[in-house]
Amino acid sequence: MPEVSRFLGMVVAMFFNDHAPPHFHVRYGELAAVVGIDPPVLLAGRLPPRVMGLVVEWAILRRTELATNWERARRLEPLEPVAPLE
């Protein structure tokens, strides 16, 4: 699973040729979640509320880059890094 970003203890990744809807995966310690890109909502898994809030904030700011990477992953192309939450 290619990593696209890492910040505040979270690792964000996408699978190549993954299933719809467009989404990304977040690992935070022992926890993991699947988060939609548009809208950025929890699709599966669990994260602490504060961490989920940060993920949503980041996803809103980086929506275009995430959507572009989703399309690249669907075409099995290399993914671009996405800037972390600052």
Q: Is position 83 within any domain?
A: no
In this predicted model, what pLDDT tens digit does every residue of 9-64 receive, in sequence order? 999 999 998 889 999 999 999 999 999 999 999 999 999 999 999 999 999 999 99
| Positive or negative torsion for Cα 9, 63, 39, 60 | positive
What's the rounded Cα separation, in Å, for the pair 28 and 6? 10
| Total domain count, the chain | 1
Alpha helix (H) ranges present in the chain?
Answer: 49-61, 63-74
Contact between residue 28 and residue 8 where contact means Cβ atoms under 8 Å apart: no
In this predicted model, what pLDDT tens digit does every residue of 51-77 receive, in sequence order? 999 999 999 999 999 999 999 999 999
Q: Is position 80 within any domain?
A: no
Q: Is position 20 within any domain?
A: yes
Residue 44's domain comprises 3-74
In the predicted structure, residue 1 carries a pLDDT above the cut 80: no
Q: Is position 85 within any domain?
A: no
What's the rounded Cα separation, in Å, for the pair 40 and 72? 19
